[in-house]
């Protein structure tokens, strides 16, 4: 009996740790697994997907549990009036939040690419729960602020979760658009013929068809070989011709427009860029994000989570934007660490390694605002068996994984239904939350690894400090004050894109404690070369402080101090000495 | 003191003295915002249901941007429409005046003029008379300066301070012109042929600079630049997407950032029936019609390669229509001369064609007419001189040029770079009193001990005619607007017939014809997708359809009677009906019901 109870509570302890713990269970009942809070104040299970209400609920619970480091707000409303929830995480007791170097994170711009939301939420949760536990997290929250928008397409998310869809739909939000140009809007979308919430494939037996059943897995349809008779016709995705135009599923909300082609950087119309809507910023969700980022020049890092393919993407989206070498060095350095953190992921450039994108989100955040920006394509088939999958004709890796690890849950078996136009057909295939979204037991690991990369980026955002202040008497009651300002991290206070286009104001280094006679930017400290700043010498403008670099300023002051030197960098924070 | 504030105080100070003064010599007959609102209200009051007014945006300065709709009857928003957009470029007041005058002429012509009546019964025109009302208001301010930006603050000179250095009226004439500062380091000289005009010294030809040439004002922020960041935020005519100039002064924090810009874009979204657009502003493609140019290399033009990229020119299939409308414009307005178009950079005109896929035409409306120089020599001699000059230029020989210069020492040559300035100077002299402000000395705090003079062309006068000319200009523009409306596609069903093929089986034939001038879609329209194709519907009443389709979308049908034939085969009861309807927002609607017999 005694033994049995022990075993039982041990099992619970294991389970709770894995799922995120339980407030009722005391810390002495468990042994903390490294990287996870053993006894979190906010219980969240990271093996499932959350809808709009749940996102707000998790944010609210975090805010209540950690009022000094987490705040929930909304940056605007979606087309259908849902809040665009933002969770701000920082140490609110340490410095002004909006003066700290900011990391902006969002997910789910494409409605079907849902797990960006959970990775974002996990990040907020992890930071809140691990502060006071892990000193590295404490200093991160002292020095940085995280602006986390778990879903910037909540309407599309609800549609994906609660309406009949497949793993690719909807990509859009739900703003009504006439996708087929016939003058009526959204009149012929998918039809969930068997009512299971999944839009799978339709097949019908036909001795003259060109498809056969795979000999390895009867759920898989493959093309007959060139010299082999077939057994079936494939009729496309579940649906019928709702508007009598002879076409099936040609105008639903699924692909009306692409929210990630709606951004005002090198936007192009549909004949150049598929998915472009009427004009950049035509969607309320896009505008809300843009207005927030423009109003927060302290943002020095962007991560916008997509799925799938296992990519750490950076711009440019189009070949004509050639990123400057100074910025590429930073991207490459962070990207290389990302590949190490994320086995199976590749660091890639959008246009040259993937495809051309005009008017993408990360293109605007870097091109238009000069911010180092990545987009991770979450999940990759590498994760099924932790190796790059081989192409096979008869079997597919996601089906094998489903058989061996998901016990056949992830695929709808072929079942007969009545089709209003085609008569009896069979429907079957992959469920919508499989192949692109991540299976439950892998989700926490995927969330943690991607978060780790993003935290690494946040750590490497500029961090300016007044390094040293030297004084030297010049006689006549004058003092020369020389201050070395350091950027302790890889990212410069201004990217080259920012410098060339004058996006963010210079770093200001100012002095108090006496009358300023003259002020200089020191070009070469050892040689004593300096350039005077005649206008407003009390506050010296530093155009940029490079990654792991310094800038030196000098004043001639009346009096002999004490002097206080303050650096105020939009993207590198504020520091005084 | 805050520099923007100093500037507005300076303006307020002048307001106390100046009468509703305004752009020197031309302002009578131009409507400020209040007058424009009254004109629009009157239009709506006088013409009842014929005129509708919709507010499509509010400027940062709190001014309404309106669209005036003129058409008679029901369902007017389903008819092919012409949209007229004026004054998106703030200083182009003449466009605004013409637009509102044309609205009046159209409305008052209904019922009196059979052509107008017909146009307003079959089509509809929308007129946005003042797309950037904040900027336009500077024309009426007590210190007149050419404002291109809407109200609000933006950092035009990218020094992270906003509106810190606007202009000041140093000579107290109520106008912001230029100032020239005598300075041996300057790049400018007074032209020999007309010393009122300034040009850059050609140092490589041995000329030595004498002046700095700056905008009239003081360096409020001490950055050694004058008036580089005055009040205002976004140039509405630079905020659209085609060839948007990123980070340029006035282009906005991003593409489509201004409320006015978005209001116009949303008007397009809400009015898929806009078939053609006529833009009054600095961009012209009626005097100099756009031409197709093959782009080389990858991207740029899909007629060149399949690879996509921003289009660098119109599509070849559309070119004849630009040419033809250009000829119509010259004929109907009698305008002469060849104004070079303003740049296509985020403007309304290029956006309307390239990104919204509409037939789009743009007119500068007015420019300073060509005015012959007065000369002592008789005209034959002059012609001979010119021929000789031509000949020596053709030889392109430096020695000949200097010999020629020596010969004509007495009357200096007019300098090529100042051609339009000489012309405009002459025209102002006899048509716009004060159109050119002759240089007069002022004391300038930034240049103690240096000679500083204020002068130059009065603001606005080279883009906007004297108010007395607005009526005749409007009359010409009215003719062209009517021509545009009459040119819109208009579909009709012809040769609709039932053929009894026996056994209760019938073949129905119909031809869809476009009676307008323009094709139902331009080549760019097909690609841009937003102008809709024709939807051809065949409605059954219990019959069985054996051949043909109940719904189909039709690609472009040429104008001038261009046609496509269709047929359907049905089995059904004799005496039963079928209906055919063809409709497109940009090409109209036609339908017919037939009885099987």
The region, left, alpha or beta by phi > 0 then psi within -120 to 50, assigned to residue A197 is: left
User: Per the CB < 8 Å rule, is A281 touching B354?
Assistant: no
> Is B355 within 8 Å of A279 when comparing Cβ atoms?
yes
pTM across the whole model: 0.92
The answer to whether residue A20 scores a pLDDT higher than 50 is no
Topology (CATH) of A51-159+259-379+440-459: Aminopeptidase (3.40.630)
Q: Does A367 touch chain B (CB under 8 A)?
A: yes
Question: How near does any CA of chain A get to the CA of B254, in Å?
Answer: 6
- A239-292 residue pLDDT tens: 999 998 889 999 988 888 999 999 999 999 999 999 999 999 999 999 999 999
Listing from the earlier edge strand, what are the strands of the sheet with B588-595? B551-554, B534-539, B577-584, B588-595
pLDDT tens digits along A22-59 = 444 445 789 999 999 999 999 999 999 999 999 999 99
Q: How confident is the model at residue A76 (pLDDT cuts 50, 70, 90)?
A: very high
How far apart (Å, rounded) are the C-alpha atoms in residues B390 and B36? 50
pLDDT digits (tens, 9 = 90+) for B411-463: 778 888 999 999 999 999 999 999 999 999 999 999 999 999 999 999 999 99
10 Å Cβ neighbour count for B52? 17
Preferred mutation among B78, B159, B301, B310 to probe A, highest tally of A CBs within 10 A: B310
Surface of B (202-241) touching A: CB under 8 A: 222-223, 241
Higher pLDDT, residue A404 or B4: A404
In this structure, which CATH number among 2.40.110.10, 2.60.40.10, 3.90.1150.10, 1.10.260.40 belongs to the domain A464-576? Answer: 2.60.40.10
Q: Which of residues 482-541 of A touch B (CB under 8 A)?
A: 501-503, 505-506, 535
- Band (pLDDT 50/70/90 cuts) for residue A320 is confident
Three-state DSSP class for B401?
helix
Least confident of A153-167, B298-312, B333-347, B577-591: B298-312
**pLDDT over 50 at B108, yes or no:** yes
Q: How confident is the model at residue B163 (pLDDT cuts 50, 70, 90)?
A: confident
Selected residue of B152, B236, B255 to mutate for chain A interface (largest A Cβ count, 10 A): B255
Mean of the pLDDT values across residues B85-110?
Answer: 98
Q: Average pLDDT, stretch A127-142?
A: 97
To probe the interface with A, which of B219, B247, B254 has the most A CB atoms within 10 Å? B254
- Helix or strand (DSSP H, E) at A129: helix A115-130
Residue of A404, A391, A549, A427 lying closest to A485 (CA atoms): A549
Which chain A residues are closer than 8 Å to B358 by Cβ?
none
Residues A527-543: pLDDT tens digits?
Answer: 989 999 998 999 999 99
Q: What are phi and psi of A246, to 5 degrees?
A: 85, 5
ipTM: 0.92
Q: Cβ of B376 under 8 Å from any chain A Cβ?
A: no
The 10 Å Cβ neighbour count of residue A469 is 17
| CB contact at 8 A, A495 and A501 | no
| Mean pLDDT comparison of A431-435, B140-144, B295-299, highest-scoring range | A431-435
Q: What percent of chain B has pLDDT over 70?
A: 87
What is the C-alpha to C-alpha distance for residues B36 and B281, in angstroms, rounded to an integer? 18
pLDDT attached to residue A296: 98
All structural domains of chain B:
39-140+232-367+466-487 (3.40.630.10), 163-228+414-462 (no CATH), 379-412 (no CATH), 491-595 (2.60.40.10)
Domain ranges across chain A? 51-159+259-379+440-459, 177-252+385-434, 464-576
* Closest by Cβ to B256, choosing from A280, A294, A368: A280
- Confidence check: pLDDT of B490 > 60: yes
Decide if A51-159+259-379+440-459 and A464-576 have a common fold.
Answer: no
Question: Does the CB of A471 have a partner CB in chain B at under 8 Å?
Answer: no
Model pLDDT, residue A319:
84
Mean pLDDT, all residues of chain A: 93
A189-193, A382-386, B223-227, B469-473: which has the minimum mean pLDDT? B223-227
Per-residue pLDDT, A6: 43
**Cβ proximity of A491 and A464 under 8 Å:** no
Q: Among A327-331, B263-267, B384-388, B425-429, which is the least confidently predicted range? A: B384-388
Structure tokens, B225: 């630049």
Q: What is the mean pLDDT of chain B?
A: 88
């Amino acid at each position: 009996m005694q033994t049995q109870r022990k075993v039982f509570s041990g099992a619970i302890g294991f389970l709770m740790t894995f799922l995120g713990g339980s407030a009722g269970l005391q810390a002495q009942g468990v042994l903390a697994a490294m990287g996870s809070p053993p006894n979190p104040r906010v219980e969240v299970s990271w093996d499932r997907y959350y809808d709009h209400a749940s996102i707000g609920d998790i944010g609210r619970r975090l805010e209540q549990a950690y009022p000094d480091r987490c705040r929930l707000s909304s940056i605007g409303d979606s087309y259908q009036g849902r809040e665009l929830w933002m969770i701000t995480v920082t140490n609110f007791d340490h410095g002004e939040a909006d003066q700290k170097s900011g990391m902006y994170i969002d997910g789910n711009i494409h409605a079907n690419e849902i797990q960006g939301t959970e990775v974002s939420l996990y990040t907020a949760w992890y930071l809140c729960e691990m502060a006071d536990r892990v000193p590295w997290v404490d200093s991160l929250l002292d020095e940085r602020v995280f602006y986390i928008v778990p879903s910037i397409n909540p309407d599309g998310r609800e549609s994906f979760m609660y309406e009949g869809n497949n793993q690719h739909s909807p990509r859009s939000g739900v703003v009504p658009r006439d996708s087929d140009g016939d003058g009526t809007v959204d009149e012929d979308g998918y039809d969930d013929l068997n009512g299971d919430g999944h839009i799978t494939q339709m097949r019908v037996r036909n001795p003259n068809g060109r498809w056969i059943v795979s000999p390895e897995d009867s759920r898989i349809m493959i093309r007959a070989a060139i010299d082999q008779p077939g057994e079936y016709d494939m009729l496309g995705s579940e649906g019928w011709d709702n508007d009598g135009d002879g076409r099936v599923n040609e105008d639903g909300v699924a692909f009306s427009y692409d929210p990630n082609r709606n951004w005002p950087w090198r936007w192009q119309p549909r004949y150049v860029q598929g998915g472009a809507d009427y004009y950049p910023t035509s969607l309320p969700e896009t505008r809300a994000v843009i207005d927030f980022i423009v109003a927060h020049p302290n943002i020095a890092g962007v991560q916008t989570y997509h799925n799938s393919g296992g990519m750490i993407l950076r711009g440019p989206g189009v070949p004509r934007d050639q990123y400057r070498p100074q910025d590429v060095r930073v991207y490459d350095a962070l990207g290389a660490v990302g590949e190490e953190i994320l086995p199976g992921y590749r660091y890639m450039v959008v246009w040259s390694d993937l495809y051309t994108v005009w008017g993408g989100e990360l293109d605007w955040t870097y091109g238009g605002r000069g911010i180092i920006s990545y987009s991770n394509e979450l999940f990759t088939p590498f994760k099924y068996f932790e190796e790059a999958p081989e192409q096979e004709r008869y079997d597919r890796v996601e089906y094998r994984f489903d058989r061996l690890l998901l016990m056949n849950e992830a695929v709808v078996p072929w079942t007969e239904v009545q089709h209003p136009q085609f008569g009896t057909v069979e429907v079957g295939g992959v469920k919508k939350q499989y192949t692109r979204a991540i299976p439950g037991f892998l989700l926490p690991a995927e969330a943690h690894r991607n978060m780790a990369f993003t935290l690494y980026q946040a750590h490497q955002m500029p961090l300016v400090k007044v390094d040293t202040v030297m004084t030297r008497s010049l006689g006549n009651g004058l003092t020369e004050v020389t201050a070395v300002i350091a950027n302790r991290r890889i990212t410069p206070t201004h990217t080259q894109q920012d410098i060339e286009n004058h996006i963010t104001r210079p770093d200001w280094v100012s002095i108090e404690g006496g009358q300023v006679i003259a002020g200089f930017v020191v070009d070469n400290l050892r040689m004593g070369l300096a350039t005077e700043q005649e206008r407003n010498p009390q506050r010296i403008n530093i155009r940029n402080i490079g990654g792991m670099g310094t800038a030196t300023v000098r004043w001639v002051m009346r009096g002999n101090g004490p002097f206080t030197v303050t650096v105020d960098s939009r993207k590198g924070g504020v520091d005084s000495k | 003191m805050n520099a923007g504030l100093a500037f507005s105080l300076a303006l307020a100070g002048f307001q106390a003295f100046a009468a509703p003064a305004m752009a020197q010599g031309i302002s009578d007959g131009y409507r400020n915002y209040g007058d424009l609102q009254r004109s629009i209200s009157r239009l709506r009051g006088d013409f009842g249901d014929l005129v509708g007014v919709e507010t499509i945006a509010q400027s940062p300065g709190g001014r309404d941007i309106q669209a005036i709709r003129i058409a008679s009857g029901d369902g007017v928003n389903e008819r092919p429409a012409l949209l007229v957009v004026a004054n998106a470029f703030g200083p182009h007041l003449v466009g605004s005046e013409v637009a509102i005058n044309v609205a009046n002429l159209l409305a008052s012509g209904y019922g009196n003029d059979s052509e107008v009546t017909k146009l307003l019964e079959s089509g509809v025109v929308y007129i946005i008379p003042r797309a950037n009302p904040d900027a336009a208001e500077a024309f009426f301010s007590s210190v007149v300066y050419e404002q291109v930006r809407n109200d609000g603050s933006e950092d035009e000179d990218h020094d992270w301070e906003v509106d810190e250095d606007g202009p000041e009226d140093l000579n107290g004439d109520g106008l912001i012109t230029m100032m020239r500062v005598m300075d041996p380091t300057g790049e400018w000289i007074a032209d020999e042929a007309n010393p009122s005009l300034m040009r850059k010294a050609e140092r490589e030809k041995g000329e030595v600079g004498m002046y700095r040439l700056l905008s009239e004002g003081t360096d409020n922020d001490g950055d050694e630049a004058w008036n580089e960041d005055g009040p205002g935020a976004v140039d509405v005519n630079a905020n659209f997407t085609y060839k948007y100039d990123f980070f340029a002064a006035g282009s906005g924090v991003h593409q489509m950032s201004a409320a006015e810009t978005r209001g116009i874009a949303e008007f397009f979204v809400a009015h898929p029936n806009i078939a053609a657009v006529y833009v009054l502003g600095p961009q012209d493609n009626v005097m100099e019609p756009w031409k197709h140019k093959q782009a080389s290399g990858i991207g740029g033009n899909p007629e060149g390669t399949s690879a996509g990229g921003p289009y660098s020119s119109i599509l070849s299939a559309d070119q004849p229509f630009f040419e033809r409308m250009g000829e119509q414009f010259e004929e109907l307005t009698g305008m002469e001369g060849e104004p070079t178009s303003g740049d296509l950079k985020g403007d309304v005109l290029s956006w309307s064609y390239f990104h919204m896929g509409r037939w789009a035409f743009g007119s500068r409306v007015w420019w300073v007419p060509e005015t012959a120089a007065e000369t002592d020599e008789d005209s034959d001699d002059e012609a001979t001189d010119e021929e000789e000059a031509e000949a020596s230029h053709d030889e392109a020989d430096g020695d000949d040029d200097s010999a020629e210069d020596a010969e004509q020492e007495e009357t200096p040559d007019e300098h090529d770079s100042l051609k339009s300035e000489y012309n405009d100077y002459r025209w102002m002299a006899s048509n716009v009193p004060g159109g050119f402000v002759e240089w007069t000395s002022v004391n300038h705090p930034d240049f103690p001990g240096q000679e500083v003079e204020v002068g130059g062309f009065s603001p606005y006068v080279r883009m906007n005619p004297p108010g007395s000319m607005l009526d005749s200009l409007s009359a010409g523009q009215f003719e062209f607007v009517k021509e545009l409306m009459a040119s819109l596609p208009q579909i009709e069903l012809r040769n609709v017939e039932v053929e009894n093929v026996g056994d209760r089986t019938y073949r129905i034939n119909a031809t869809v014809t476009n009676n307008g001038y323009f094709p139902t879609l331009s080549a760019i329209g097909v690609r841009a997708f937003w102008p809709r194709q024709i939807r051809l519907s065949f409605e059954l009443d219990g019959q069985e359809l054996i051949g043909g389709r109940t719904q189909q979308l039709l690609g472009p049908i040429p104008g001038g009677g261009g046609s496509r034939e269709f047929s359907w085969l049905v089995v059904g009861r004799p005496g039963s009906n079928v209906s055919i309807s063809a409709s497109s927002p940009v090409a109209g609607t036609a339908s017919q019901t037939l009885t099987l017999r």
